[in-house]
């Protein structure tokens, strides 16, 4: 997968940034685009992610943050699914 369009989502739970290292599955819905870690594992780069921040790569698709309603679902190691509806999104400008 070409990694030229990273977006970064920032999640907070109880006022603290969410730790993605505990997630076993991640689904991000941006408008009508659904990115699921179980089917597109290389779309998520946790190695570059900070606490509460997750970089997502969507190949050649163009994302306009302000135009989308972003929803994130995370399954954790305990089998719980967490739903985040109010998510800050940062688009990384790669100068293209």
pLDDT digits (tens, 9 = 90+) for 40-49: 777 766 555 5
14-17, long-range: CB within 8 Å, 24+ apart, which pairs? Answer: 16/52, 17/50, 17/51, 17/52, 17/53
Q: What share of the chain is helix, strand, coil (3-state, %, to 5)?
A: 10, 45, 45
Tokens 């954790």 sit at which residue?
Answer: 76
Check pLDDT > 70 for residue 75.
yes
Check pLDDT > 70 for residue 54.
no
Q: Residue 3: CA atoms inside 13 Å, Cβ hemisphere, count?
A: 10
- The pTM score is 0.56
Domain residue ranges of the chain, discontinuous segments joined by +: 6-87
Average pLDDT over residues 81-93: 63
Cβ burial of 47 (10 Å; 0-12, 13-18, 19+) is: exposed
């Amino acid at each position: 997968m070409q990694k030229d369009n990273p977006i970064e989502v920032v999640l907070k739970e109880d006022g603290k940034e969410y730790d993605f290292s505990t997630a076993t599955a991640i689904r991000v819905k941006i408008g009508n685009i659904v990115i699921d870690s179980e089917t597109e594992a290389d779309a998520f780069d946790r190695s570059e992610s900070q606490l509460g921040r997750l970089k997502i790569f969507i190949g050649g698709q163009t994302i306009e943050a302000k135009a989308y309603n972003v929803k994130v679902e995370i399954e954790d190691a305990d089998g719980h699914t967490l739903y985040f509806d109010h998510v800050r999104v940062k688009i990384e400008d790669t100068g293209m």
